[in-house]
A and B are shown apart, each in its own frame.
Chain A
Amino acid sequence: MKKILLLSLAAAALPLIVGGCATKAHYVQTGGHESLVTVGSINIQDYIQAASTMTSELLASGALDKVPTPPAVLAISRIINNTGEQIDTDLLTKKIRVAVLQSGKALTTTTFGMGGSSEDPMAKEIQQNGELNTGLGTARTPDFTLSGKIIQTVARDGSTSQSTFSFQLSLTDPRSGLAVWEGEKEITKQGGRGSVGF
């Protein structure tokens, strides 16, 4: 009798336990404290943090102010991904571009890319047509190029794993080929294998 009572109580409690554990889909603030944290991958808040820190450092350095005709023109060069996952580096560079544009210190060219490619092919076409018609070059040569690397360093001890993501950026003056500013932001995350936190 007792056994039946206990079993029926357990059966009644089960949906409550399961229901209490399930998370309903909901919105969270991007990069906020509720965002999921995973050890082995770069989370959105990591990109935001890295972009914010390095943009502040870049602007504070005053490197972008040292151009004959401000605001400076910036071209985005190669960002090498040396992590274990496939990432879109625009998640980092776009935030920096927007922040730098917002600051009024630099503009980013979308018609100047590596190997003759361009981010905005139509803009480049219009620009080239204009140059053909007038016979004059209208495009401003970039004052600086922004290149970088994202590196992942993994460490494990027993069931604890740790990942350090190093975001490295260099601002180069293409005329001299010298890096006029360099920044690095490291983000380290630690947790149990396959752990997810907030």
Chain B
Amino acid sequence: MKSRIFLLFAVIGFAAGLLAVSGCKSSVNSVENAQKTGQRQMISDQRVITDRGLARKVSIVGVNQVTTPGGFLKVQIELLNTTRSPQRFSYRFEWFDASGMLISSPAAPAFPDQIDGGEDKFITGQSPTPACKDFRVKFLENTN
């Protein structure tokens, strides 16, 4: 009887282990030049977190911005997947004029994206008009 129970637990344990291994992906290794030539203009950001799970898994490392020669605001956000498995999410940029009014654009999609385990990734957005002065980026976890 005892050996049967042991066997049952062994089978369940093996199956659980197999599932865990198959669900787990290897994380990203990277290499880059140590002495950086380019200087990023980092800006202070304000965050509103309502999905702590997503914020924990895909953390925002920093935000930098530049104004292009054409007068457009270009924003770059550095993200880090703190887990070892790929994470799917979507993001959408919103742009505001000098009066803080939202500027609507026909081409303002929610970009679906994926970040591999341990990967450090940049997402960028450019304002639709030179009149944009501020921005907001919304992140949403893709469950499927």
Residues of chain A whose beta carbon lies under 8 Å from any beta carbon of chain B? 29, 31-33, 45, 48-49, 51-52, 55-56, 59-60, 62, 65, 94-96, 98-99, 102-105, 197-198
Contact = CB atoms under 8 A, between A and B. Distances in A.
29 contacts: A31-B109, A32-B110, A33-B90, A33-B112, A45-B112, A48-B107, A49-B109, A52-B109, A55-B107, A56-B125, A56-B126, A59-B70, A59-B72, A60-B74, A60-B126, A94-B106, A95-B107, A98-B105, A98-B107, A99-B105, A99-B107, A99-B128, A102-B105, A102-B129, A103-B72, A103-B129, A103-B130, A104-B129, A198-B144
A31 B109 CA distance: 6
A48 B109 CA distance: 6
Q: Chain B contact residues: over half helix, strand or loop, or mixed?
A: loop
Contacts, number: 65
Interface in B112-144: 112, 125-126, 128-130, 140, 142, 144
Query: Which of A49, A52, A65 gathers most chain B CB within 10 Å?
Result: A52
A95 B74 contact: no
Interface of B: 68-70, 72, 74, 90, 105-112, 125-126, 128-130, 140, 142, 144
Given A33-B140, A99-B128, A198-B144, A105 B107 contact: no
Q: Secondary structure of the A side of the interface? A: helix
A60 B68 contact: yes
A103 B128 contact: yes
Contacts of A56: 125-126
